Amino acid sequence: MTDRVTLPEDREQELRTITDGFFEREVYLSRQETADFLRDLADQLEAETTVTVAGATWEIPFEYREPVEVEVEFTSRRERELEIELEFADAGDGSDLSVR
């Protein structure tokens, strides 16, 4: 099993590994593509604390720590919308809290 979860999109030419800075990509997937992506992600979450999310020409390898923040947001102001967000924190060396 690999730790790479690939989104079925992207039109750039060469593979770019993103390890710092800012990167954002919004993709629109079919119901089946979304389900496949979420299954691949779930498999990686069960297997280890490293995941690589990727498009055809970019990848973001990421080692995270628990807990994973899950945010659920619902609104019906202009149109009904449900948003589910997963937030992974960098594994790092623990917290910066210490006693001196």
Q: What is the band of 2 on the pLDDT scale with cuts at 50, 70, 90?
A: low
The pLDDT of 70-92, averaged and rounded, is 93
pLDDT digits (tens, 9 = 90+) for 42-55: 999 999 999 999 98
Do 25 and 12 contact (CB within 8 A), yes or no?
no
pLDDT mean across residues, the chain: 86
Break the chain into its structural domains and give their ranges: 4-90
List residues bridging with 84 in a β-sheet.
72
> Residue 80 above 70 pLDDT?
yes
Residue type, 48: E
Nearest CA to 23 among 57, 51, 73, 70?
57
φ, ψ of residue 72 to 5 degrees: the values are: -115, 125
